[in-house]
């Protein structure tokens, strides 16, 4: 397939993300009305655990595959590029099947740990997604590193359409179900959508990437995993913090004076309704982060080009995030009263507005750090922000006058600390690249004099 420019890739992924988000947003609104806040809360509880066990196969691998593929593309090494894809697929299969059987055994215990046994059907329905999403992650990373976004964009749109279609068909054809089974239906939709999406990507790439007779160089899988591991740990820590918050927030809301059912419903309001709006700029910033990672990999030897790319990505990300924040502030009454029909959501949305800007810019900076191989430093920032967010959430959610607004304040502080740390790490990475260039020039000059 023909390679695409950074602008074209971003535009294509942004368009696909926009369609996916619109479908997902409509699905979220429809589910909130069909399931109710309590079943939505159960679904979010199970979803937080599902995201945690997906982290080893879907977080670090795409960025690592993207970086190795981009290096092969920059060097014009087609054989190396095919080897990276094959190594990534083998690694993904090994990890995903180990995780599958481990989680199959642990699911009942996880349901008890989450504090709600009704999450068990949803947890089990999510399990078959593991090997499917692992392979999808590898293929996506390979496509981004190859400057091609057609296959991932088409796959994501079809996946989301199928999720909605499956959920709609099940709820339309079957009689009302118990909360535990109703909450598991979206997980079945995810499984079918992701499976079809993977088949589409494999078909689109099959002819151009033959694997018969292809041998892997020694240590390639280890190198990929070594690069993926810090990003995997970062995603796992973020997801773990989300799972901790999913269990912690209802507990602290009960401590503030709310009942058990109301506390679960408030969790559904926060995670299932508010957070989907907080991620508005991710339609653009998510696409920009994915294409900027391999782009900066190819510019590592040119600090001036790195600085230009950083400006070309961070400034648009900040602009789009600011615009999204303004939209959320002024449209909060419409979102709360018309779309979700939850009047209590309005003040929460406005309290979360700063998170829109922080998350949008942070997403792009994380992509740049990953492209530079700085996943370990990004992990430190993520862990610091996550621990601070969890600690503040525990304290502020239990205050009767704050409750979910306290959780919003905690999220803002944690995101701000993570962003500041990552900005510093990015500046240090550019400075090191400049020092390496200067050292190389000085060495060349000395050889010339000699």
Q: Which of 224, 159, 212 is nearest to 375 (CA)?
A: 224
Task: Look at 241-255, 315-329, 352-366 and tell me which has the smallest mean pLDDT.
Answer: 241-255
Let me know if residue 447 belongs to a domain.
Answer: no
**How do residues 356-397 score in pLDDT, each as one tens digit?**
999 999 999 999 998 888 888 888 998 899 889 989 999 999
What's the pLDDT band for 207 if we cut at 50, 70, 90?
Answer: low
Distance in angstroms (rounded) separating the CA atoms of residues 312 and 299: 14
Let me know if residue 450 belongs to a domain.
Answer: no
Q: What is the pLDDT of residue 41?
A: 79
Let me know if residue 424 belongs to a domain.
Answer: yes
Q: Which domain holds residue 162?
A: 6-441
pLDDT at 307 over 50: yes
- Select, from the ranges 30-34, 47-51, 268-272, 423-427, the one with the highest average predicted confidence (pLDDT): 423-427
Q: What is the mean pLDDT of residues 250-276?
A: 87
Share above pLDDT 70 across residues of the chain, in percent, rounded to a whole number: 94
Let me know if residue 168 belongs to a domain.
Answer: yes
User: How many independent structural domains does the chain possess?
Assistant: 1
DSSP string, 60-103: HHHHHHHHHHHHHHHHT-HHHHHHHHHHHHHHHHHHHHHHHHHH
Let me know if residue 449 belongs to a domain.
Answer: no
Let me know if residue 448 belongs to a domain.
Answer: no
Let me know if residue 64 belongs to a domain.
Answer: yes
Distance in angstroms (rounded) separating the CA atoms of residues 348 and 447: 64
- Select, from the ranges 114-123, 287-296, 354-363, the one with the highest average predicted confidence (pLDDT): 354-363
What 3-state class would DSSP assign to 109?
helix
Distance in angstroms (rounded) separating the CA atoms of residues 276 and 292: 24
> Which H or E run includes 180?
helix 179-182
**How do residues 12-64 score in pLDDT, each as one tens digit?**
888 887 888 788 778 877 887 777 777 877 887 788 788 777 877 887 888 88
Distance in angstroms (rounded) separating the CA atoms of residues 63 and 375: 9
Q: What is the pLDDT of residue 442?
A: 64
Angle between helices 220-255 and 60-75 (to 10 degrees): 150
**How do residues 320-337 score in pLDDT, each as one tens digit?**
999 999 999 999 999 999
Buried b vs exposed e over 414-427: b needs ≥16 C-beta within 10 Å?
bbbbbbebbbebbe
Q: What is the pLDDT of residue 110?
A: 86
The predicted model scores a pTM of 0.74
**How do residues 163-206 score in pLDDT, each as one tens digit?**
888 888 888 887 777 878 888 888 888 889 889 989 988 888 87
């Amino acid at each position: 397939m023909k390679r695409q420019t950074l602008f074209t890739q971003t535009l294509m992924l942004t368009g696909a993300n926009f369609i996916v988000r619109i479908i997902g947003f409509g699905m979220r609104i429809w589910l909130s009305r069909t399931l109710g806040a309590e079943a939505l809360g159960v679904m979010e509880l199970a979803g937080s655990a599902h995201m945690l066990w997906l982290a080893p196969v879907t977080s670090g691998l795409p960025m690592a595959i993207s970086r190795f593929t981009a290096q092969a593309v920059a060097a014009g090494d087609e054989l190396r590029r095919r080897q990276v894809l094959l190594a990534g697929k083998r690694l993904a299969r090994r990890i995903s099947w180990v995780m599958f059987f481990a989680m199959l055994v642990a699911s009942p215990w996880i349901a008890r740990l989450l504090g709600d046994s009704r999450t068990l059907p949803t947890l089990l329905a999510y399990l078959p997604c593991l090997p499917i999403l692992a392979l999808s992650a590898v293929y996506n990373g390979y496509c981004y590193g190859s400057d091609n976004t057609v296959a991932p964009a088409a796959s994501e749109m079809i996946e989301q359409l199928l999720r909605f279609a499956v959920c709609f068909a099940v709820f339309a054809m079957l009689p009302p179900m118990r909360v535990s089974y109703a909450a598991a239906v979206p997980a079945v939709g995810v499984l079918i959508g992701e499976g079809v999406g993977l088949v589409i990507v494999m078909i689109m790439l099959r002819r151009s990437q033959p694997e018969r007779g292809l041998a892997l160089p020694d240590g390639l899988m280890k190198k990929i995993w070594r690069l993926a591991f810090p990003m995997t740990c970062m995603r796992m820590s973020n997801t773990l913090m989300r799972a901790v918050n999913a269990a912690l927030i209802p507990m602290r809301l009960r401590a503030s004076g709310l009942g058990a059912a109301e506390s679960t419903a408030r969790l559904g309001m926060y995670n299932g309704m508010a957070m989907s709006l907080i991620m508005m700029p991710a339609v653009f910033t998510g696409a920009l982060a994915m294409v900027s990672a391999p782009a900066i990999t190819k510019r590592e030897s040119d600090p001036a080009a790195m600085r230009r790319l950083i400006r070309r990505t961070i400034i648009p990300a900040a602009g789009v995030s600011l615009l999204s924040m303004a939209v959320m502030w002024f449209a909060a009454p419409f979102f709360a009263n018309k779309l979700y029909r939850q009047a209590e959501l309005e003040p929460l949305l406005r309290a979360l507005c700063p998170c829109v800007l922080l998350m949008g810019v942070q997403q792009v900076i994380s992509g740049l750090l990953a492209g530079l191989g700085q996943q370990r430093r990004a992990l430190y920032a993520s862990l610091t922000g996550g621990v601070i967010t969890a600690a503040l959430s525990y304290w502020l959610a239990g205050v009767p006058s704050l409750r979910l607004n306290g959780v919003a304040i905690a999220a803002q502080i944690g995101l701000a600390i993570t962003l500041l740390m990552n900005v510093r790490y990015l500046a240090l990475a550019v400075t090191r690249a400049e020092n390496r260039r200067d050292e190389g020039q000085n060495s060349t000059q000395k050889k010339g004099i000699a």
